[in-house]
Amino acid sequence: MRVLALDGIDERGLNILREAGLEVTAQGKMNEEELKDAIRDYDALIVRSATRVTAAAINAAKRLKIIGRAGVGTDNIDVGAATERGIVVVNAPEGNTVAAAEHTMAMMLALARNIPQANAALKQGIWEKKKYVGVELRGKTLGIVGLGKIGREVARRARGMEMKVMAYDPYVDPEQAARLEVELASLEDLLKNADFVTVHLPLTKETKHLLGREELALLKPGARVLNVARGGIIDEEALYEALKSGHLAGAALDVFEEEPLKKSPLLELDNVIVTPHLGASTEEAQVAVAVEVAHDIVRCLRGEPVLNAVNIPVVRGHVAEVLRPYLQLAEKLGGFLAQLMESPIIAAEICYNGELAQYDLAPLTSSFLKGLLRPLLADAVNYVNAPLVAKKRGIRIREKKSREMEYFANLISVKVEGRRESHRLAGTVNQSGEPRVVNLDGYSVDASPSGHMLVVPHIDRPRIVGPVAMVIGDHKINIAGMQVGRQEIGGEAVMLISVDNEVPREALQAIRRVDGVLDVRYIHL
């Protein structure tokens, strides 16, 4: 079998492939046309971040079984196209954790002490001390947005430098945060109190521009921000304005909305430190991610289960045909509930009713947990590690089965609990093989869990549905479908609305102001 390795994969990873008897071709970056021509007769492909693995390239492959990403993020791979072809996509979520955490600390120290600026001035023959007076980290408050693997490593190092650490992460159990000596807070409270803010999240629709104008305005005057995660989490235009105005003292950026960065007004500012996406660029990290992904390539080509599958849970034989649509349903239910929750998740229960109960349903539970955890963790969680990630985050998981079923051949019912709230969701697969949500928090509905959706709890009375629809229309958003569920006349009810486009924050605020509306949540699946 043949493996195509691009973007400069470390030799120690390639040697693992060769020792397994695989034929390895190593080359540099390829564009789409080059990859389409090259990939036709390979069984496996490994890339870093330079080569984009497009749908066209994937569809040109005749024998491809697995794509490996030597790193965490898979945004340069069309995972959907790979999934449609039955091609496994794996990543290496562990290898660059320490490298990224250490780069964050290096950037923070450089930002605090004006090291790059002083270095550049001195090399130009300018000896100037007063201009580059900095601040100490000791006693300062660090706000970490995203307390995953990298965020936790940053927290440990910051505590070692006698900083106070706050974190915003809805998926972290308070007891785990306490063991790290980290104070959990809302995003608003974190921004209002932090001297330094660092983000450690994947880039998703939920996290894009998470720190925009409104959020940056909450920071205290003289605060400093860092992004060593993904470009786009911080709105670069808003950041420029906050730095230019003097509201923020400085920023350190390793990642950008467009890479490679060629032109940006941020480069004109003296209080901005930049590096060219070096977070994972250590000798040790490059070896670690190459070795990690190489082992999964070997496992896959030998027909063994892989450890870091991003897209496909391992189910074989006739069971795969039975479970396949329910794998998708379970993941959708998890993603739906994750976006309904406002408080950290502490427990999840998943119940399988009907003919499904006769099978080993661990893959379905993993799919549900992947969907539940993915909105904030993205590529750091996959079908294989989802149960372990949930356990590490202190989420209690309970699974129940029953072959008894009254109204459906099969039903998956899930419940998620937080410290201040809980939500229930139930779904099935119809005769056409399409996932359907049939119950939301006790209200009967019938909707496809896909695309853009609004959940609108409200009081069951006239002149509510119309005004809500008017608000949506006023924002030039088309309604694709609407379900209204209620339990009694005049009591609480829920609208489940499918729309064609993303719903902006202003529209959500306007819906909340409609008399009789109790809340609104935007769901994107």
**Catalytic annotation, pick one of 157, 277, 295, 436:** 277
Q: Compute the distance between CA of residue 486 and CA of residue 360 in angstroms, rounded to an integer.
A: 35
Higher-confidence position of 49 and 441: 441
- What residues form DSSP beta bridges with 511? none
Is the model's pLDDT at 56 over the cut of 70? yes
Among 48, 103, 224, 230, the one annotated catalytic: 230
Which of 305 and 111 is assigned the larger pLDDT? 111
Most confident of 222-236, 306-320, 347-361, 365-379: 222-236
Torsion of CA 77, 78, 79, 81, to 10 degrees: -140
When pLDDT is cut at 50, 70 and 90, the band that residue 138 belongs to is very high
Separation CA 292–CA 70 (nearest Å): 8
Query: Of 150-164, 406-420, 465-479, 504-518, where does mean pLDDT reach its minimum?
Result: 406-420
The pLDDT value recorded for residue 377 is: 75
Residue with the larger pLDDT of the pair 381 and 293: 293
User: Is residue 355 predicted with pLDDT exceeding 90?
Assistant: no
Tracing tokens 């006023």 back to the chain, one arrives at 474
Q: Does residue 315 contact residue 323 with C-beta atoms inside 8 Å?
A: yes
Residue 376 has pLDDT above 80, yes or no: no
Average pLDDT score, the chain: 93
**What pLDDT does 238 receive?**
98
User: Which tokens in the block code for residue 237?
Assistant: 């235009």
The confidence score (pLDDT) of residue 384 equals 66
Q: Residue 315: what pLDDT?
A: 57
* 98-107, 133-142, 173-182, 240-249: range with lowest mean pLDDT: 173-182
240-507-415 Cα angle (round to 5):
100
How far is Cα 325 from Cα 315, in angstroms, rounded to an integer? Answer: 12
Contact 140, 195 (CB under 8 A): yes
Locate all alpha helices (DSSP H) within 203-267, ordered by sequence.
Answer: 213-218, 236-244
Whether 305 has a pLDDT exceeding 80, the answer reads no
Is 277 assigned a catalytic role?
A: yes
Give SS3 for 355: helix
pLDDT band (50, 70, 90) for residue 312: low
Please give the backbone phi and psi of residue 119, each rounded to the nearest 5 degrees, phi first: -60, -45
Query: Per the structure block, which two tokens stand in for 305?
Result: 């289960």
pLDDT surpasses 60 at 134: yes
- Catalytic annotation present for 113: no
Given a cut of 80, is residue 326 above it in pLDDT? Answer: yes
Residue 320 — pLDDT band, cuts 50, 70, 90?
A: low
Asked whether the beta carbons of 199 and 210 are under 8 A apart, the reply is: yes
pLDDT at 399: 93
Quote the tokens at residue 135. 């601040």
Q: What is the pLDDT of residue 406?
A: 73
CATH 3.40.50.170 fits 451-525, yes or no: no
What's the mean pLDDT in 284-311? 91
The yes-or-no answer on residue 247 being catalytic is: no
Classify residue 448 by its DSSP letter. -
Beta strands in 114-208 (DSSP E): 141-145, 164-168, 182-184, 196-199
Distance of CA 149 to the CA centre of its chain: 13
pLDDT value at 174 more than 90 = no
Of the chain, the percentage scoring pLDDT greater than 90 comes to: 79
Of 405, 256, 295, give the one whose Cα is nearest residue 22: 295
Under CATH, what is the fold of the domain 97-274? Rossmann fold (3.40.50)
The CATH code for residues 1-95+281-312 is 3.40.50.720
* Third-level CATH fold of 315-450: 60s Ribosomal Protein L30; Chain: A; (3.30.1330)
- For residue range 210-261, list pLDDT tens digits in order: 999 999 999 999 999 999 999 999 999 999 999 999 999 999 999 999 999 9
- Cα separation, 77 vs 308, in Å, equals 15
Domain boundaries, the chain: 1-95+281-312, 97-274, 315-450, 451-525
pLDDT reported for residue 106 = 99
The single residue of 19, 259, 304, 421 carrying the catalytic annotation is 259
Give me the percent of the chain exceeding a pLDDT of 70.
Answer: 98
DSSP helix/strand/coil, 257: coil
Round to whole Å and give the CA distance between 356 and 367: 15
Chain CA centroid to CA 334, Å: 14
Q: Report pLDDT digits (tens) over 396-426.
A: 999 999 888 778 889 999 999 998 899 999 9
Are 309 and 385 contacting, i.e. CB atoms less than 8 angstroms apart? Answer: no
Q: Say whether pLDDT at 461 is over 80.
A: yes
- Name beta bridge partners: 453: 498, 523
First to last CA, the chain: 37
In this structure, the number of other CB atoms found within 10 A of the CB of residue 36 comes to 17
Let me know if the fold of 97-274 is the same as that of 315-450. Answer: no
Angle between helices 97-113 and 283-301 (to 10 degrees): 160
Distance between CA atoms of 145 and 186, rounded to whole angstroms? 10
In angstroms, rounded to a whole number, what is the distance separating the alpha carbons of residues 104 and 441?
42
Averaged over 14-18, what is the pLDDT? Answer: 98
Among 253, 245, 302, 311, residue whose Cα is nearest residue 277: 253
